[in-house]
Chain A
Amino acid sequence: MPLYRLDILTPYRRLYAGEVESILFRTDDGEIVVLAGHEPIAAPVVPCVLQVRGPDGNKYAAAAEGFVTITQTKVQIFLDAAEWAVEIDKKRAEEALERAEKRLVDGTMSWELTRVRYAAARARTRLATVAAATAKRSA
């Protein structure tokens, strides 16, 4: 598979910089896989599991919201936050999800609702990332 240059940038750090075969992420319209020579687009990215396929296998990361720009030569993904599967504290994410879901069921202040929903979404993305990474490893 031909390789292309990928940069994943967040305000906190540069998550990835290097050559990859493909990357999978989710936009408003659904999941997109980008291979080398993709049509140039600029699109928003919604919270999802990123799957980076490089020369040394698959890597998974949890992504917050952001956007992507694709040119002939390289792909840049800008995210508000992102972390690799190995960096995710599974227990903490589970607890966070539980807490958020409890809040949603029990009801909470209306102004807190959005925040709680986001927290739940974040935790779910993290867990999905961990699940995807472990599934691949055992397979």
Chain B
Amino acid sequence: MDTMRDIRVRSRSVKQSLQVTTAMKLISTSKLRKARRRLEETRPYFEAIRATLHDIAERSAGEATRWFDTKKDKKVRVCATIVITSGRGLAGGYNHAVTRFVESACPPGSILLPIGTVGKRYFMEKDYVLLEDFPVSAKEPSVQAARDIAAFASALFLSGKVDEFRVVYTRMFSSVKQEPEMISLLPLEAEKLEGGFHARPSSVSYTYMPNEEALFDLLAPKFLKGVIYGALVEAFASEQTARMTAMDAASKNAKAMMERLQLLYNRARQAAITGEVSEIVAGASALGD
């Protein structure tokens, strides 16, 4: 049986862990609140940009085709996947779900662009080609980061090195359900851009300044940036939710363990006292004889 001292040491370490998990839970709660607000603020912008891009694509005279699929008949398509994971661990099953999803969706040897160190470390050891990786800030995703990623992807796409880009991120369905999801980024597809926008009158025909192609070249990167930023924010919110749940569970376990240790400690103390008393009694009776 453990002595009182052993139990005290253990109980102290559990207590420290409990402090850490409680703090982490609080932090992710507040980050989650921020991420949710951000998601709401950014949504109108990207929905409108998407509708506009679709508008232009639909009425385009086919001048701006380089963002669209020009290699439909090509046999071997080079396909790259952007994988969004977290920058830190201790987020429950969050990262694991993403890596498992990627492994089932992308055959070994595929090109990956991991975002977040956890995914990068994981896929480095596996049989994948990592083209480039992007760190994420632990604070919150920035539009700047999204722009860098979008610029990198469009450069590869326009130069014809990669024919298809996809993004794997964790979609937050609710606070209890987050699941990895794959969306296609490039090439743009006129039908996909529509996504829930039908009510717009298509009778307007814009005058494009300076011309259609130039405007499309301006819009497309903004759109891509938007999609990536949206995915980053969504993933960030999912990560915080996952971490919050994980840390909540850890705190509960730690509390239960503390209680058990307290019980053990009391028992050990009682045993020690009993031992001492019986020694004294035995000693006294030995003297009295």
Contacts and interface: CB of A to CB of B under 8 A. Distances in A.
Contacts, number: 70
Contacts of A69: 52, 55, 206
A63 to B, nearest CB: 14
Contacts of B52: 42, 69, 76, 78
Interface string B192-215: 000000000000111111100011
B87 interface: no
The main secondary structure of chain A at its interface with chain B is: strand
Given A40-B204, A42-B52, A67-B219, A11 B45 contact: yes
A41 B19 CA distance: 59
A28 B41 contact: no
Interface in A100-125: none
B49 interface: yes
Contacts of A54: none
Contacts of A70: 206
Interface centre among A7, A42, A66 (most CB of B within 10 A): A42
Interface in B23-51: 41-42, 44-46, 48-49
B116 interface: no
Interface in B215-241: 215, 218-219, 222, 226, 229
B143 interface: yes
B56 interface: yes
Contacts of B49: 9, 78
A39 B45 contact: no
The main secondary structure of chain B at its interface with chain A is: helix
B207 A41 contact: yes
Interface in B55-81: 55-56
Nearest to B214: A44
Contacts of B226: 11
A119 to B, nearest CB: 14
B41 A42 contact: no
Contacts of B215: 42-44, 67
B259 to A, nearest CB: 47
Interface residues of B, number: 25
A92 interface: no
Interface in B66-120: none
A11 B204 contact: no
A29 B210 CA distance: 9
Contacts of A11: 42, 45-46, 143, 226, 229
Given A9-B44, A42-B56, A78-B45, 7 more contacts: A13-B41, A14-B41, A14-B45, A41-B208, A42-B215, A76-B48, A80-B143
Interface of B: 41-42, 44-46, 48-49, 52, 55-56, 143, 204-210, 214-215, 218-219, 222, 226, 229
18 contacts: A9-B44, A10-B45, A12-B42, A12-B143, A13-B41, A14-B41, A14-B45, A28-B210, A40-B205, A41-B207, A42-B52, A43-B208, A67-B215, A67-B219, A71-B204, A78-B45, A78-B49, A78-B52
